Amino acid sequence: MKITEAKVILSCPGRNFVTLKIMTDEGIYGLGDATLNGMEKAVVAYLENYCIPALIGKDPCRIEDIWHYFYRGVYWLRGSVSLTAISAIDMALWDIKGKSLNTPLYNLLGGKSRDRILVYCHANGKDAEETIDKVGEKISKGFRAVRVQSGVPGIEDAYGVPKDDRPYEPAAKGLAHEETWDTTKYLNFLPLLFRKVRDVYGENVHLLHDAHHRCTPVEGARLAKELEPFHLFWLEDPVTGELQESLRLIRHHSTTPIAIGEVYNTIFDHTTLITEQLIDYIRMPLVHGGGITHMLKVAAMASVYHINTGFHGATDLSPVNLAAALHFNTAINNFGIQEYMPHQDIVHEVFSINYRYDDGFMFVDDSPGIGVDIDEKKAAEYPYEMASLPVNRKTDGTIFYW
């Protein structure tokens, strides 16, 4: 088999998605997600100008070799833009392999290790009261695991809370808008919130929280310690983790499980975290973590150290990534949980999907390959609209992590 053509489809059904389509001389094509929120066109340019011309004529069956061609073979290692491009190529090649062998992706990864995929949803409200109601709504929809985010008294823009009644979506049209942040108010509020949530709903639901990189290591340690009585499933991104050693401080002070890595892109971002057992869940998703080929290695290394996966699954990752993640989660032994933020209906006008949510779990069907398709005519009806993630400042104006 030979790759004859490849193209990038940039479309905005409610939000921007970048999709790579690789075609072969046998008429089989594969799809890969290449969406990097707020940096879409950078990935498009890399794919169109450099990767696609080099793909033409290659044998799509040689997935491992092609992965290393674009990773090791390119002198400039690592980085979100290039790893997102590599991820898309890799997903599309696994999709082609599955279709050519007429078998679902999970079968190529070792077959089923489980029948259903535990997912967590988001409950978010403008204050503690509304947030507690939202948690109840999610529990009544069958969710076994709920991420709890709330507006914080005295902070105008808490992460994860929508400003209107629409579902939460952090990217807004145009250039980045600025938000303000106050860690002291947040740290004082959060344990009180979780105490109330546990008082109302008891212990029979998994609770998660995303600190979204906004603590220093010692603040993260305090937060993890003070949340300990409420038995979180995980505390996500207490620190950015650029400095992997910073997780030691948190670990030494608390048994609250830690999830990290949605902004990472290679195994080298995790090596200290994994080998020193400083974390419990890996967040790096297929779409930004080098695709299936690389994530198989990350998951295998993590499994040795009792660390499970908990892939990022926000709405800025396309249905192609979600379906691929569900196959991956079906196959590996050390799956932990999958984030599930349902896409708006308009997204499914462009992408036809092969997965479903039912009573706290997700299921992917047996269609060959990844199993998601794209309607290119529909995609063209929703042209790209520039959108950016916010920029964050402390109350005195200092730039901070968003």
Annotated active-site residue in 29, 120, 159, 186:
159
Nearer to ligand GCO, 71 or 351 (CB): 351
Q: Which does 280 bind (CB under 5 to 8 A by kind): Mg ion, ligand GCO, none?
A: none
Concerning whether 177 is annotated as a catalytic residue, the answer is: no
| 132-191 binders of ligand GCO (CB under 6 A) | 170
Interaction between residue 316 and ligand GCO (CB under 6 A): yes
Interaction between residue 209 and ligand GCO (CB under 6 A): no
Q: How far is the CB of 290 from Mg ion (least distance, A)?
A: 19
Q: How far is the CB of 170 from ligand GCO (least distance, A)?
A: 5
Q: Which does 226 bind (CB under 5 to 8 A by kind): Mg ion, ligand GCO, none?
A: none
Interaction between residue 212 and ligand GCO (CB under 6 A): yes
Q: How far is the CB of 66 from ligand GCO (least distance, A)?
A: 27
Q: How far is the CB of 234 from ligand GCO (least distance, A)?
A: 11
Q: How far is the CB of 386 from ligand GCO (least distance, A)?
A: 15
Among 314, 348, 363, 375, binds ligand GCO (CB under 6 A): 314
Query: Segment contacting ligand GCO (CB under 6 A): 215-223, 311-319, 320-328, 361-369?
Result: 311-319
The one-letter amino acid at 207: L
Total binding residues toward ligand GCO, as defined by CB under 6 A: 10
Tokens of 79: 């980085």
Q: How far is the CB of 15 from ligand GCO (least distance, A)?
A: 10
Nearer to Mg ion, 262 or 280 (CB): 262
| CA distances from residue 289 to 38, 91, 100, 268, 365 in whole angstroms, order as listed | 17, 11, 25, 11, 24
Q: How far is the CB of 227 from Mg ion (least distance, A)?
A: 16
Nearer to ligand GCO, 293 or 338 (CB): 338
The 3 state secondary structure assigned to the chain is: CCEEEEEEEEECCCCCEEEEEEEECCCCEEEEECCCCCCHHHHHHHHHHHHHHHHCCCCCCCHHHHHHHHHCCCCCCCCHHHHHHHHHHHHHHHHHHHHHCCCEHHHHCCCCCCCCEEEEEEEEECCHHHHHHHHHHHHHCCCCEEEEEECCCCCCCCCCCCCCCCCCCCCEECCCCEEEECHHHHHHHHHHHHHHHHHHHCCCCEEEEECCCCCCHHHHHHHHHHHHHHCCCEEECCCCCCCCCHHHHHHHHCCCCEEECCCCCCHHHCHHHHHCCCCCEECCCCCCCCHHHHHHHHHHHHHHCCCEEEECCCCCCCHHHHHHHHHHHHHCCCEEEEECCCCCCCHHHHEECCEEEECCEEEECCCCECCCEECHHHHHCCCCCCEECCEEEECCCCEECC
Contact residues: Mg ion, CB under 5 A: 210, 262
Q: Which does 241 bind (CB under 5 to 8 A by kind): ligand GCO, Mg ion, none?
A: none
Closest CA to 80 of 51, 30, 42: 42
Task: Determine the Cα–Cα distance for residues 259 and 280; give it in Å rounded to an integer.
Answer: 6
Mode of pairing for the β-strands spanning 399-400 and 206-210 = unpaired
Q: Which does 37 bind (CB under 5 to 8 A by kind): Mg ion, ligand GCO, none?
A: ligand GCO
Annotated active-site residue in 122, 206, 209, 212:
212
Nearer to ligand GCO, 281 or 355 (CB): 281
| 353-392 binders of ligand GCO (CB under 6 A) | 389
Tokens of 379: 């995609």
Q: Mark 329-358 with x for binding to ligand GCO (rule: CB under 6 A) and - for no binding.
A: ----------x-------------------
Interaction between residue 210 and ligand GCO (CB under 6 A): yes
Query: Segment contacting ligand GCO (CB under 6 A): 73-81, 136-144, 309-317, 322-330?
Result: 309-317
Interaction between residue 37 and ligand GCO (CB under 6 A): yes
Concerning whether 122 is annotated as a catalytic residue, the answer is: no
Interaction between residue 262 and ligand GCO (CB under 6 A): yes
| Binding residues for ligand GCO (CB under 6 A) | 37, 170, 210, 212, 262, 312, 314, 316, 339, 389
| Residues designated catalytic | 159, 212
